[in-house]
Structure 1
């Protein structure tokens, strides 16, 4: 599979616009703020001359750590923190914080810079136009309205189901309705299937997801971001949750990587790549479906990264769940893994992402020192190790980490050693 770190070769304005209405509504500010805590991971995309606009400040310790692993002077890239505001997209937050002139000056000093948004939405396109920079990879003309529309549509559960059905992609049995009509639909679906899954039409990462049955009939209450359309699907007997990341252009769609998702109650908690074992038997069909989605996106003017999520049932059947037409929770960590692995001469690394809580609080520097003392820290010389890829947690305990090695078998060994070193709780 193609190894891709980012979409452009010149200076980049990395726009970590987690505050976007693409994945969930802006009214779901608590959810967006929670996701935004992972914004420091965008540091791994930076090269000398780049600029990062982030809703969360990066600690000096983390910037030194990441820059050191990337073999890049810490001051070689500019980092600007943009305070987030409830219900406001990031482009507007930049303006309200009085940061536009600072950003304009950074852009002026970097001829040829282009905007790389996390979420391709109308506000990020308008922001690029205001700065007079192109949106990667669309050039100065920018994405068409059709491209923005299809991006928005395929970030909804209902839009994905409609498109997937027309493309012959296997889906769980399901229906779509407004929140006010959930009662009768859920009753009907429970009668037919026993257990059902409720999904807000525009949601990600498991936000708002519910499992219902005759024994558990409680419907979700209307709430900001959860009072619109819903998808109700049969609950499948899931053995593996899988995902593939692809990139599409007018020249075609290419698979970048695939892996198995770690989930808890339907919510994403981690990832392991490449696919292997029983989950790996679905890789061919998963890539075939992803290519169909990518070609459909390209026909409507979209270019760039997207992912397709699916599940493998206990009998080995693959069912598609949703598409995510944006940079996802694994896109940037994969870029980091690829970059680091190349310094070690590793062309096809095995890697995993996870988050665990430690029994004792540590500063970022203390946690890194623990890794180094136990020879668990990533080094190019060993070609394997652990990276804290999203800065130190505010509570000193909730750690996000990546484990990288030359083989999948080594990942489990390294992760067990990490759990002991960091005294992770079960």
Structure 2
């Protein structure tokens, strides 16, 4: 039987300056629509602070799969404003006292943020609750500092250089040196990628080729990195995008999972785990790099999830591209898969995450009926199926989902059947 734990205040602080500039409102608002997925972390007595509301049908569905009474959790929606971190939005909307009241009825409650940003740490201090998993000793100042540094491309590249970790040929620069840097890199490599120093999910990436008639037009304008700098790298066009996700613990780093990202024009579009056997050597090297990063983070007092993204070139060479020291688009879905499969008595499943667009718009209830009619909905008896993990999309068509099976062949089979049942548009 699972050990009882103190209640969690799950803070889906998508509006944070950790992954991108807080001024990148469009990107943050787009990502925030995935906030409902944080429900998969919850147990009876927990509270979810979310920038977007959760639908009733989705809440009942998720709680049903988790075995949690839907009335046993509390969801508080925090309206968001452009350029305002979520912790500050709570104060602006006059909701801080409501959170205090929720905490008062939950002795021992702890705050679990999506990202360990400074406003959220300060907010927890004002509430008088510890940040999970730091406990009553509090978050050491060196931990958020490490988070901010290692969620930049340049911060990771600098550390990787010290460790001898292979990265794509490239360099960091500020706004003033960007055009000159791009020109020099194009002359050397022919094709390059220009990245805002603090960016995630492909936000702000530009691919530039020396064969473009006017490549200078593809260079981002000054200030478009949100006040930060840039990283310009050789474009490894045929490479596979892979990652390892780990957890920094007092005892050292712990491997959570690895997988391959699906990308469209450099932007995250899905994930497949585990990696196939053809990548075994790269997987070991990626795990080694992840362990080094974990020890570095632990030495700075950081506790929690982190990962390294990398490119696997066609010749088998692995290049680390960035670190993500926060909960990412895959962290919570993985926790959901692990929890559902563990409760059902299944170990080491294969799983994939994807977003596909249906030909017709559906409500959440309609989509769930389609899954059940097609015998595709997650089943604890069979240990496989589809989970709609992020609520109904605003347009009723752009569905986020997870597919779980015993192996990659099983996920591919279910995914193909799902595409037919939901009438997904073909790429």
TM bracket (short chain): over 0.9
Q: In the alignment, what sits opposite 2:315?
A: 315
Residues 246-266 of structure 1: CA distance to partner in whole angstroms, max 9, x if unpaired?
Answer: 011221111110001000111
Mean Cα displacement is larger for which, 173-182 or 158-167? 173-182
Distance 2:7 2:22 in 1: 29
Deviation at 1:299, TM superposition (A): 1.1
Q: In the alignment, what sits opposite 1:346?
A: 346
Deviation at 1:162, TM superposition (A): 0.3
1:255-404 matches, within 5 Å, as 255-404=255-404
Residues 343-391 of structure 1: CA distance to partner in whole angstroms, max 9, x if unpaired?
Answer: 2211111100000000001111000000000100001011100010000
Q: In the alignment, what sits opposite 2:84?
A: 88
Q: In the alignment, what sits opposite 1:140?
A: 136
Mean Cα displacement is larger for which, 302-311 or 236-245? 236-245
Q: 2:174 aligns with which of 172, 178, 181?
A: 178
Tell me whether 1:157 sits opposite 2:153 in the alignment: yes
Deviation at 1:89, TM superposition (A): 0.5
Distance 1:153 1:223 in 2: 20
Distance 1:197 1:225 in 2: 14
Deviation at 1:227, TM superposition (A): 5.0
Deviation at 1:143, TM superposition (A): 1.5
Distance 1:46 1:96 in 2: 26
Distance 2:121 2:305 in 1: 16
Q: 1:24 aligns with which of 20, 27, 32?
A: 20
What are the ranges of 5 or more consecutive residues in structure 1 without an aligned counterpart?
none
Deviation at 1:223, TM superposition (A): 4.8
Q: Is the 8 A contact 1:290 1:308 kept in 2?
A: yes
SS at match of 2:53: coil
SS at match of 1:401: strand
Q: In the alignment, what sits opposite 1:213?
A: 209
SS at match of 2:239: strand
Q: In the alignment, what sits opposite 1:409?
A: 409
Residues 74-117 of structure 1: CA distance to partner in whole angstroms, max 9, x if unpaired?
Answer: 01111100001111000111111111111111100000110100
Tell me whether 1:422 sits opposite 2:418 in the alignment: no
Q: Is the 8 A contact 1:236 1:313 kept in 2?
A: yes
Deviation at 1:237, TM superposition (A): 4.0
Give the alignment's TM-score, normalised by structure 1: 0.97
Q: In the alignment, what sits opposite 2:103?
A: 107
Q: Is the 8 A contact 1:19 1:90 kept in 2?
A: yes
Distance 1:84 1:223 in 2: 23
Q: Is the 8 A contact 2:111 2:132 kept in 1?
A: yes
Distance 1:187 1:226 in 2: 22
State the Cα RMSD in Å.
1.5
Q: 1:54 aligns with which of 35, 50, 53?
A: 50
SS at match of 2:200: coil
Q: How many residues align?
A: 421
Distance 2:25 2:5 in 1: 34
SS at match of 1:238: coil
Are the structure 2 counterparts of residues 97 and 159 from structure 1 closer, same or farther at C-alpha, using a change threshold of 3 Å? same
